[in-house]
Amino acid sequence: MTTGADDPRPAFSGAAADALIEHRLSGQQVYSGALLDVRRDQVRLPDGGEAVREYIVHPGAVLMIPVLDDGGLIAVRQFRYPQNRAFIEFPAGKLDEGESPLETADRELVEEAGYSARQWTRLGVVHPVISYSTEAIEIYVGRFLRHVGAKLDPGEFLDVLRCTQADLYAAQDAGDLSDAKSVAALSMLTRWLTAPRRSIVVRVEGVVQGVGYREWVRGIAADARVFGWVRNRRDDSVELRLEGDRAACDAVANACAEGPRAARVTRVVVLPQPHDATLTGFDVRPTV
């Protein structure tokens, strides 16, 4: 639904027959700065007329919700020049060229908050300004934190805060937490923590093959009474599929950060999945 490779927007993902589609006819860059890439396109409307659409091209970003071992959260407070005031937010940063969202999360959490995380859970994605920007923000929860010291960029200043969910909701009520991405992330976190069941994939990286990891997982999954499977991957990681009670699945996923005695786990990634009613029991599957 574009005019070619010069279209900087995300690839079209809807139905070709959607009656609301606007077709791009031409486009130009009208401003390129240190941060902003402003475009102006001519489009054909659903009724055959034409219009101008102006928007900002953004590389994408990641927001991190760091969770301490006691359940507390890490937030930051920083001055936002366009609004001329300081805001409470979760740590976040834009993707550098060639980075994956997880690589950005690893880097930005250290830079802004001074922590590294061994387990990452993807909660989803938000589009903060769909009317005039291509920006998409991936939301991740970081757990099993280790304090390594902040490494702020030159000219970057912020306070690191330890708080609870209740503190952040109170800040939202008081108008001190109004940053759209952080409001959305807090809501997504609350929903995740209170969901009655889990349906997830867990990917475990590090020295996890040839150390009895799959049999160890099968044992703890059976004890937890969750359904699914475990398998090795050709990239040297181990992958699990878990279905069941929230607390039971979380216990298995959290245990994966340690693994059997001979394992050396460097990172665990948890990815929500659609419910699969066909999963029964727990087995070991072939390598993929």
pLDDT digits (tens, 9 = 90+) for 74-92: 999 999 999 999 999 999 9
pLDDT digits (tens, 9 = 90+) for 150-186: 887 788 889 999 999 999 999 999 999 999 999 999 9
* Shared-domain flag, residues 175 and 223: no
Domain extent, residue 175, equals 61-194
Quote the CA–CA distance of 94 and 138 in Å, as a whole number.
10
In-domain check, residue 284: no
In-domain check, residue 283: no
* Shared-domain flag, residues 38 and 131: no
pLDDT digits (tens, 9 = 90+) for 15-74: 888 999 999 999 999 999 988 999 999 999 999 999 999 999 999 999 999 999 999 999
What is the token pair recorded at 205? 């990286």
Last residue of a domain, one of 160, 194, 228: 194
Which strands, in side-by-side order, build the sheet including 115-126?
92-94, 61-66, 137-147, 115-126, 264-272, 197-207, 238-245, 227-232, 282-284
* Shared-domain flag, residues 67 and 100: yes
In-domain check, residue 221: yes
Against a cut of 0.75, is the pTM above it?
Answer: yes
CATH number at residue 186: 3.90.79.10
Catalytic residues: 214, 232
In-domain check, residue 282: no
* Shared-domain flag, residues 96 and 117: yes
Quote the CA–CA distance of 260 and 287 in Å, as a whole number.
19
Q: 3-state secondary structure string, 123-141?
A: EEEECCCCCCECCCEEEEE
Q: Check if the beta carbon of residue 184 is closer than 8 Å to that of residue 139.
A: yes
Overall number of domains in the chain: 3
* Shared-domain flag, residues 135 and 184: yes
In-domain check, residue 105: yes
CATH number at residue 222: 3.30.70.100
Q: What's the pLDDT score for residue 3?
A: 45
Tokens 């800040």 identify what position?
Answer: 171
